[in-house]
Amino acid sequence: MKVKVLSIPVQDQAKALAFYTEILGFVKKVDVPLSEDSRWLTVVSKEEQDGPEILLEPSPKHFEPAKTYQRSLFEAGIPYTQFNVENMQQEYDRLSALGVVFSIKPTEMGTVKIAVFDDTCGNNIQIVEML
């Protein structure tokens, strides 16, 4: 078994695509219209373009449990997912300069250094540097 696609619920796919590509530096991989307001939209790491894809999945507008789950995680400050970085301070400085809002600044926790930011699409995302 292999991991091919992981999904992140987003409130606005166009806004998410701009944030994940222009700010975070991912590359758009697949963009297929599914309906009037929904598409199969994935991004990949610039460094690993044949690696796992992140599906920027429209957060279900008419499915209250999914909306509640996403909102509850965000309000509790719990990251929806995490991405690894090579140099935490460098990535933190780069993202901060681009206006990314961090709820947790770089913090050492045992064998890792973490930081958490708002992806502007309804999620907290954690970045991690292995020490």
CATH number of the domain that 29 lies in? 3.10.180.10
Q: What pLDDT band is residue 91 in, cutting at 50, 70 and 90?
A: very high
Residue type, 27: V
Domain count, the chain: 1
Q: Which residue in this structure is represented by tokens 């796992």?
A: 52
CA-based torsion, 13, 18, 20, 21: positive or negative: positive
Q: What pLDDT band is residue 59 in, cutting at 50, 70 and 90?
A: confident
Share of the chain above pLDDT 90, in %: 92
- Kindly report the number of other CB atoms within 10 A of residue 28's CB atom: 13
pTM across the whole model? 0.95
Instruction: Let me know the angle formed at the C-alpha of 25 by 127 and 90, rounded to the nearest 5 degrees.
Output: 50
Structure-block tokens of residue 88 = 């935490």
Nearest by Cα to 108 from 131, 78, 82 = 131
Domain extent for 94 = 5-130
Mean pLDDT of 31-42: 94
> Strand, coil or helix: what is 13?
helix
